Amino acid sequence: MSDETRADRLLCDRVAVVTGGGGGIGAATARLFAGQGAHVVIVDVDAALAARTVDDIAESGGSAVAVVSDVRDAAAVDDLARSVLDRYGRVDVLVNNVGHWLRHPGEFVDTDPRFWDELYRINLHHVFLVTHAFLPAMVARRAGAIVNVSSVEGLRGYPEDPVYAAFKAAVIQFTRSLAVQVGGRGVRVNGIAPDVTESLQVPYSQWLSADEQAQWPQWVPVGRMGVPEDQARVILFLASDLSAFVTGHTVPTDGGTGAAGGWYRSSRRPDREWTNRPVAP
Protein backbone atom coordinates (compact mmCIF):
# COMPACT_ATOMS: atom_id res chain seq x y z
CA MET A 1 0.00 0.00 0.00
CA SER A 2 1.42 3.38 -1.01
CA ASP A 3 1.86 6.21 1.50
CA GLU A 4 -0.76 8.19 -0.43
CA THR A 5 -3.29 5.38 -0.18
CA ARG A 6 -2.53 4.86 3.49
CA ALA A 7 -3.07 8.55 4.24
CA ASP A 8 -6.50 8.41 2.60
CA ARG A 9 -7.80 6.00 5.21
CA LEU A 10 -10.19 7.55 7.69
CA LEU A 11 -8.28 6.62 10.86
CA CYS A 12 -4.74 6.54 9.53
CA ASP A 13 -2.27 5.97 12.43
CA ARG A 14 -4.83 6.85 15.07
CA VAL A 15 -4.95 4.92 18.32
CA ALA A 16 -8.40 3.50 19.00
CA VAL A 17 -9.56 1.70 22.15
CA VAL A 18 -12.62 -0.52 21.74
CA THR A 19 -14.09 -2.05 24.89
CA GLY A 20 -15.86 -5.34 24.41
CA GLY A 21 -13.91 -5.60 21.18
CA GLY A 22 -13.62 -9.36 21.10
CA GLY A 23 -16.97 -10.13 19.51
CA GLY A 24 -20.19 -8.77 18.03
CA ILE A 25 -20.40 -5.03 17.42
CA GLY A 26 -17.07 -4.47 19.15
CA ALA A 27 -15.20 -6.93 16.93
CA ALA A 28 -16.82 -5.55 13.78
CA THR A 29 -15.78 -2.06 14.88
CA ALA A 30 -12.22 -3.15 15.64
CA ARG A 31 -11.86 -4.81 12.23
CA LEU A 32 -13.30 -1.80 10.41
CA PHE A 33 -11.09 0.62 12.34
CA ALA A 34 -7.98 -1.43 11.56
CA GLY A 35 -8.94 -1.52 7.90
CA GLN A 36 -9.07 2.27 8.01
CA GLY A 37 -5.54 2.51 9.37
CA ALA A 38 -6.06 2.62 13.14
CA HIS A 39 -3.90 0.95 15.75
CA VAL A 40 -6.67 -0.84 17.64
CA VAL A 41 -6.61 -1.83 21.30
CA ILE A 42 -9.18 -4.57 21.81
CA VAL A 43 -10.32 -4.70 25.44
CA ASP A 44 -12.28 -7.72 26.57
CA VAL A 45 -12.71 -10.05 29.55
CA ASP A 46 -12.59 -13.01 27.17
CA ALA A 47 -8.94 -13.56 26.25
CA ALA A 48 -9.65 -16.12 23.54
CA LEU A 49 -12.27 -13.96 21.86
CA ALA A 50 -10.01 -10.91 21.89
CA ALA A 51 -7.06 -12.91 20.53
CA ARG A 52 -9.18 -14.27 17.70
CA THR A 53 -10.15 -10.76 16.61
CA VAL A 54 -6.53 -9.60 16.81
CA ASP A 55 -5.52 -12.54 14.61
CA ASP A 56 -8.24 -11.67 12.08
CA ILE A 57 -6.95 -8.11 11.91
CA ALA A 58 -3.32 -9.19 11.60
CA GLU A 59 -4.19 -11.56 8.76
CA SER A 60 -5.74 -8.61 6.94
CA GLY A 61 -2.62 -6.52 7.42
CA GLY A 62 -3.98 -4.36 10.22
CA SER A 63 -2.58 -3.32 13.59
CA ALA A 64 -4.21 -4.52 16.82
CA VAL A 65 -3.37 -5.69 20.31
CA ALA A 66 -5.54 -7.37 22.91
CA VAL A 67 -5.80 -6.29 26.53
CA VAL A 68 -7.68 -8.61 28.87
CA SER A 69 -9.46 -6.37 31.35
CA ASP A 70 -12.73 -6.03 33.22
CA VAL A 71 -13.82 -2.45 32.62
CA ARG A 72 -16.24 -2.65 35.54
CA ASP A 73 -13.24 -2.57 37.88
CA ALA A 74 -11.67 0.83 38.58
CA ALA A 75 -8.16 -0.51 39.23
CA ALA A 76 -8.28 -2.56 36.03
CA VAL A 77 -9.32 0.50 34.05
CA ASP A 78 -6.46 2.53 35.52
CA ASP A 79 -4.04 -0.22 34.47
CA LEU A 80 -5.61 -0.30 31.01
CA ALA A 81 -5.20 3.44 30.48
CA ARG A 82 -1.64 3.38 31.76
CA SER A 83 -0.68 0.52 29.44
CA VAL A 84 -2.22 2.16 26.37
CA LEU A 85 -0.67 5.55 27.04
CA ASP A 86 2.72 4.00 27.84
CA ARG A 87 2.64 2.03 24.60
CA TYR A 88 1.28 4.66 22.21
CA GLY A 89 1.61 7.97 24.03
CA ARG A 90 -1.94 8.98 23.21
CA VAL A 91 -5.47 7.79 22.47
CA ASP A 92 -7.41 9.31 19.59
CA VAL A 93 -10.63 7.30 19.66
CA LEU A 94 -12.48 5.60 22.49
CA VAL A 95 -15.46 3.33 21.87
CA ASN A 96 -17.36 2.41 25.05
CA ASN A 97 -19.07 -0.65 23.62
CA VAL A 98 -19.50 -2.93 26.65
CA GLY A 99 -23.07 -3.53 27.72
CA HIS A 100 -25.47 -6.34 28.50
CA TRP A 101 -29.05 -6.89 29.63
CA LEU A 102 -27.71 -9.90 31.62
CA ARG A 103 -30.97 -11.84 31.99
CA HIS A 104 -34.71 -11.40 32.01
CA PRO A 105 -35.52 -10.02 35.47
CA GLY A 106 -39.29 -10.35 35.58
CA GLU A 107 -41.40 -7.62 37.13
CA PHE A 108 -39.54 -4.64 38.61
CA VAL A 109 -41.25 -5.12 41.98
CA ASP A 110 -39.75 -8.59 42.19
CA THR A 111 -36.15 -7.61 41.36
CA ASP A 112 -33.29 -7.47 43.83
CA PRO A 113 -31.36 -4.20 44.22
CA ARG A 114 -28.17 -6.22 43.80
CA PHE A 115 -29.29 -6.94 40.26
CA TRP A 116 -29.70 -3.21 39.64
CA ASP A 117 -26.08 -2.78 40.67
CA GLU A 118 -24.98 -5.46 38.20
CA LEU A 119 -26.84 -3.66 35.42
CA TYR A 120 -25.37 -0.33 36.50
CA ARG A 121 -21.80 -1.58 36.45
CA ILE A 122 -21.98 -3.20 33.02
CA ASN A 123 -24.11 -0.59 31.27
CA LEU A 124 -23.23 2.80 32.78
CA HIS A 125 -20.54 2.78 35.46
CA HIS A 126 -17.85 1.45 33.11
CA VAL A 127 -18.65 4.27 30.67
CA PHE A 128 -17.79 6.72 33.44
CA LEU A 129 -14.67 4.79 34.47
CA VAL A 130 -13.15 4.33 31.03
CA THR A 131 -14.01 7.82 29.82
CA HIS A 132 -12.58 9.32 33.01
CA ALA A 133 -9.35 7.37 32.49
CA PHE A 134 -8.75 8.38 28.86
CA LEU A 135 -10.34 11.82 28.59
CA PRO A 136 -7.45 13.76 30.21
CA ALA A 137 -5.05 12.58 27.50
CA MET A 138 -7.48 13.71 24.81
CA VAL A 139 -8.01 17.09 26.43
CA ALA A 140 -4.26 17.56 26.81
CA ARG A 141 -3.82 17.08 23.06
CA ARG A 142 -7.06 18.95 22.27
CA ALA A 143 -8.10 16.08 20.04
CA GLY A 144 -10.23 12.99 20.42
CA ALA A 145 -13.48 11.25 19.63
CA ILE A 146 -15.55 9.19 22.04
CA VAL A 147 -18.40 6.96 20.87
CA ASN A 148 -20.74 5.41 23.43
CA VAL A 149 -22.94 2.45 22.57
CA SER A 150 -26.37 2.82 24.14
CA SER A 151 -29.53 1.04 22.97
CA VAL A 152 -32.90 1.68 21.42
CA GLU A 153 -34.21 0.78 24.89
CA GLY A 154 -32.72 4.04 26.14
CA LEU A 155 -34.96 5.93 23.73
CA ARG A 156 -38.29 4.19 24.31
CA GLY A 157 -40.22 2.51 27.06
CA TYR A 158 -38.87 -0.96 27.77
CA PRO A 159 -41.39 -2.85 29.91
CA GLU A 160 -39.25 -5.99 30.15
CA ASP A 161 -36.55 -4.22 32.18
CA PRO A 162 -37.05 -0.58 33.23
CA VAL A 163 -33.74 -0.53 35.12
CA TYR A 164 -31.73 -1.53 32.06
CA ALA A 165 -33.60 1.08 30.02
CA ALA A 166 -32.82 3.75 32.62
CA PHE A 167 -29.09 3.09 32.45
CA LYS A 168 -29.10 3.10 28.65
CA ALA A 169 -30.95 6.41 28.70
CA ALA A 170 -28.33 7.71 31.13
CA VAL A 171 -25.59 6.83 28.62
CA ILE A 172 -27.35 9.05 26.09
CA GLN A 173 -27.63 11.95 28.53
CA PHE A 174 -24.01 11.53 29.62
CA THR A 175 -23.00 11.61 25.96
CA ARG A 176 -24.95 14.80 25.35
CA SER A 177 -23.78 16.59 28.47
CA LEU A 178 -20.10 15.64 28.30
CA ALA A 179 -20.01 16.67 24.65
CA VAL A 180 -21.10 20.17 25.58
CA GLN A 181 -18.59 20.33 28.42
CA VAL A 182 -15.53 19.27 26.41
CA GLY A 183 -16.47 20.47 22.94
CA GLY A 184 -14.27 23.54 23.25
CA ARG A 185 -11.31 21.35 24.21
CA GLY A 186 -11.11 19.45 20.97
CA VAL A 187 -13.00 16.34 22.06
CA ARG A 188 -16.20 15.13 20.45
CA VAL A 189 -18.62 12.74 22.18
CA ASN A 190 -21.35 10.90 20.30
CA GLY A 191 -23.20 7.60 20.51
CA ILE A 192 -25.34 5.04 18.78
CA ALA A 193 -28.55 3.35 19.89
CA PRO A 194 -28.86 -0.04 18.16
CA ASP A 195 -31.96 -2.14 17.68
CA VAL A 196 -32.55 -5.60 16.16
CA THR A 197 -28.87 -6.39 15.63
CA GLU A 198 -27.40 -9.89 15.75
CA SER A 199 -24.82 -9.95 18.55
CA LEU A 200 -23.30 -12.17 21.21
CA GLN A 201 -25.95 -11.08 23.71
CA VAL A 202 -28.83 -11.09 21.25
CA PRO A 203 -28.38 -13.97 18.76
CA TYR A 204 -31.65 -13.48 16.89
CA SER A 205 -30.80 -16.16 14.36
CA GLN A 206 -30.82 -18.73 17.19
CA TRP A 207 -33.83 -17.39 19.04
CA LEU A 208 -36.31 -16.99 16.20
CA SER A 209 -38.08 -19.70 14.27
CA ALA A 210 -37.98 -19.69 10.48
CA ASP A 211 -41.52 -18.30 10.47
CA GLU A 212 -40.51 -15.49 12.82
CA GLN A 213 -37.39 -14.66 10.83
CA ALA A 214 -39.58 -14.33 7.77
CA GLN A 215 -41.34 -11.46 9.58
CA TRP A 216 -38.31 -9.10 9.39
CA PRO A 217 -39.81 -7.25 6.39
CA GLN A 218 -42.86 -6.54 8.55
CA TRP A 219 -41.00 -5.74 11.76
CA VAL A 220 -38.21 -3.52 10.46
CA PRO A 221 -38.74 -0.78 7.84
CA VAL A 222 -35.47 -1.55 6.02
CA GLY A 223 -36.70 -5.13 5.74
CA ARG A 224 -34.00 -7.09 7.52
CA MET A 225 -32.25 -7.73 10.81
CA GLY A 226 -29.16 -5.65 11.56
CA VAL A 227 -25.66 -7.11 11.66
CA PRO A 228 -22.66 -5.85 13.66
CA GLU A 229 -21.12 -4.24 10.58
CA ASP A 230 -24.17 -1.96 10.30
CA GLN A 231 -23.36 -0.55 13.72
CA ALA A 232 -19.61 -0.45 13.11
CA ARG A 233 -19.96 1.73 10.04
CA VAL A 234 -21.85 4.39 11.98
CA ILE A 235 -19.31 4.19 14.80
CA LEU A 236 -16.55 4.73 12.21
CA PHE A 237 -18.33 7.82 10.92
CA LEU A 238 -18.62 9.25 14.43
CA ALA A 239 -14.99 8.41 15.22
CA SER A 240 -13.57 9.93 12.04
CA ASP A 241 -13.21 13.45 10.71
CA LEU A 242 -16.24 12.87 8.51
CA SER A 243 -18.25 13.89 11.60
CA ALA A 244 -15.95 16.74 12.66
CA PHE A 245 -18.92 19.06 13.22
CA VAL A 246 -21.08 16.50 15.03
CA THR A 247 -21.06 16.16 18.80
CA GLY A 248 -23.53 15.39 21.57
CA HIS A 249 -25.75 13.17 19.44
CA THR A 250 -26.82 9.55 19.70
CA VAL A 251 -27.73 8.06 16.34
CA PRO A 252 -30.61 5.54 16.40
CA THR A 253 -29.05 2.71 14.40
CA ASP A 254 -32.27 0.75 14.30
CA GLY A 255 -33.24 0.04 10.71
CA GLY A 256 -36.08 2.53 11.06
CA THR A 257 -37.94 0.94 13.98
CA GLY A 258 -37.84 4.14 16.00
CA ALA A 259 -39.10 6.23 13.11
CA ALA A 260 -41.89 3.72 12.50
CA GLY A 261 -43.05 4.24 16.08
CA GLY A 262 -44.82 0.91 16.44
CA TRP A 263 -46.21 0.63 12.93
CA TYR A 264 -45.64 -2.58 10.99
CA ARG A 265 -45.98 -3.58 7.37
CA SER A 266 -49.10 -5.65 6.99
CA SER A 267 -48.90 -9.01 5.24
CA ARG A 268 -52.54 -9.91 5.80
CA ARG A 269 -54.50 -6.78 4.96
CA PRO A 270 -54.60 -6.14 1.22
CA ASP A 271 -56.51 -2.91 1.75
CA ARG A 272 -53.77 -1.32 3.91
CA GLU A 273 -49.98 -1.57 3.77
CA TRP A 274 -49.35 -0.62 7.41
CA THR A 275 -50.91 -1.53 10.73
CA ASN A 276 -50.30 -0.65 14.36
CA ARG A 277 -51.92 -3.85 15.55
CA PRO A 278 -49.23 -5.98 17.21
CA VAL A 279 -50.94 -9.34 16.61
CA ALA A 280 -50.60 -10.98 13.18
CA PRO A 281 -49.57 -7.90 11.19
- CB-based contact 197:179 (threshold 8 Å): no
d(CA 206, CA 5): 41
Residues 143-159 pLDDT 10s: 999 999 999 999 998 88
- CB-based contact 14:39 (threshold 8 Å): yes
Whether residue 214 is contained in a domain is answered as no
- Give the CA angle between residues 92, 93, 97 to the nearest 5°: 160
Domain count, the chain: 1
Whether residue 275 is contained in a domain is answered as no
Whether residue 255 is contained in a domain is answered as yes
Whether residue 281 is contained in a domain is answered as no
- Domain containing residue 233: CATH number: 3.40.50.720
> 94-112 in b/e burial notation, b at 16+ Cβ within 10 A?
bbbbbbebeeebeeeeeee
- Residue 4: its pLDDT value, please? 45
What is the number of other CB atoms lying within 10 angstroms of the CB of residue 156? Answer: 17
Single out the catalytic residue among 88, 158, 164, 204. 164
- Could you tell me the pLDDT band of residue 280, with boundaries at 50, 70 and 90? low
Contacts with 120 (C-beta within 8 Å, 6 or more apart), sequence order = 167
- Residue 51: its pLDDT value, please? 98
Distances (CA, A) of 275 to 208, 242, 281: 22, 38, 7
- Residue 254: its pLDDT value, please? 95
Whether residue 230 is contained in a domain is answered as yes
Whether residue 220 is contained in a domain is answered as no
Q: Is 164 among the catalytic positions? A: yes
d(CA 224, CA 142): 40
Q: Tell me the whole-structure pTM to 2 decimals.
A: 0.93
Whether residue 114 is contained in a domain is answered as yes
- CB-based contact 115:168 (threshold 8 Å): no
Contacts with 49 (C-beta within 8 Å, 6 or more apart), sequence order = 22, 23, 27
Q: What type of residue sits at position 200?
A: L
Q: Mean pLDDT of all residues in the chain?
A: 92
Instruction: Quote the domain boundaries for residue 151.
Output: 9-209+226-263
Residue 261 has pLDDT above 60, yes or no: yes
Whether residue 1 is contained in a domain is answered as no
